[in-house]
Amino acid sequence: MMNEEQVIIIGAGPCGLAAAIELQSIGISPLIIEKQNVVHSITQYPINMHFFSSPELLEIADIPFTTANEKPSRLEALNYYRNVSLRRKVRINAYETVTSVVPLEDRSFELHTVDRYGEAIVYRAGTVIVATGYFDHPNQLGIPGEDQDKVTHFFRESHPYTGMRVAIIGGSNSAIDAALELERVGAQVTVVYRGEQYSRSIKPWVRPSFESLVAKQRIGMRFSSRIIEIGQRTVTIEGPPGTDLEYLPNDFVLAMTGFHPDRAFLTSVGVTIEPEGYPTFNDSTMETNVPGIYLAGVVASRREANEIFIETGRFHGRKIAAHLMEHKI
């Protein structure tokens, strides 16, 4: 049986939710299909994390985001987006995965999905909005040993690493925050970073604490360095030119190397990729080169995934709604 929908949104992150609510405002009740839970990407953040953005920059649907702190926490964000989706009665099929989107001759689309029980479901929709985020696609290192269980691209909490020897790859805020938390629980931490000096992106109120711990040798810091192999009990570090390889005893590796959107899914639908590596779309409408396929959120990033945050991607739905109102309805 074919399930008929006017608009289907793939992904229930903050930008997908914002797009759904913008469409509600013009009389469309879209269906969101999400392969995990609502705002799954935020559940992947460290448990004790606080956002860099202030709460008003994370708001959607004109619903205030209140917090007692200057910067909202991960838990507060989960509560906020969950409550917004419930209050606005957004239709969400959670734990259902879109496996393909097939353009039809009448310019509508046939979507094939699989639910959590393995049942295949088919939908037909006139418009599809891709808001899939990027947390499922970490940037790989491409080195021997990367596929071991001791290696992860996600840092959730520090407690499991108490007393362990942990190598952290990267020098961004996520790497620095993880190093600080791990040091507090007694882990032996070494940060391995390609840069010659500390990244300018490090939060200014965090950097002094980190530099102090490095100066006291409570955190190891390797500049102009990279891990070239991960063994069961060691990691091999290649330092600056002219230095010998370092074989560092190791129990776990946190590869904080960032993430990237899923371009392969877009190309399978017919969306072209520009020579610079980003999908073809109209900045004013968010419509791709495939009429009826729109982008929302980080999947529309042009260079780095970090160039689009919730605070900017939340407005993509407004552009899409305006375009649908003008040309489709």
pLDDT in tens, 175-187: 999 999 999 999 9
Q: If residue 254 lies in a helix (H) or strand (E), which one and from where to where?
A: strand 252-255
Which of 255, 285, 318 is the last residue before a domain boundary? 255
- Do both 210 and 76 map to the same domain? no
- Do both 248 and 160 map to the same domain? yes
Task: Please tell me the predicted confidence (pLDDT) of residue 236.
Answer: 97
Which of 255, 279, 300 is the last residue before a domain boundary? 255
| Average per-residue pLDDT for the chain | 91
pLDDT band (50, 70, 90) for residue 329: low
Average pLDDT rounded to a whole number, residues 88-95: 97
- Do both 198 and 103 map to the same domain? no
pLDDT band (50, 70, 90) for residue 247: very high
- Three-class secondary structure of residue 294 per DSSP: strand
Q: pLDDT tens digit string along 116-136?
A: 999 999 999 999 999 997 767
Structural tokens at position 82: 């969950």
Strand pairing of 165-169 and 151-152? unpaired
At residue 251, φ and ψ (nearest 5 deg) are: -110, -35
Is the four-CA dihedral 31, 36, 41, 47 of positive or negative sign?
positive
- Residue 164 domain flag: yes
Structural domain of 199: 151-255
At residue 229, φ and ψ (nearest 5 deg) are: -160, 140
- Residue 146 domain flag: no
- Do both 103 and 18 map to the same domain? yes
Residue of 329 and 17 predicted with greater confidence: 17
- Residue 144 domain flag: no
Greatest CA separation for the chain: 67
Is the four-CA dihedral 108, 84, 310, 195 of positive or negative sign?
negative
> Please, are residues 203 and 195 in contact by the beta-carbon 8 Å criterion?
no
- Three-class secondary structure of residue 249 per DSSP: strand
Total domains in the chain come to 2
| Whether pLDDT at 307 is above 50 | no
Q: If residue 322 lies in a helix (H) or strand (E), which one and from where to where?
A: helix 316-327
- Do both 238 and 308 map to the same domain? no
Task: Give 124's strand partners.
Answer: 4, 110
- Do both 248 and 284 map to the same domain? no
Average pLDDT rounded to a whole number, residues 254-273: 86
Q: What is the CATH number of the domain that holds 249?
A: 3.50.50.60
- Do both 167 and 60 map to the same domain? no
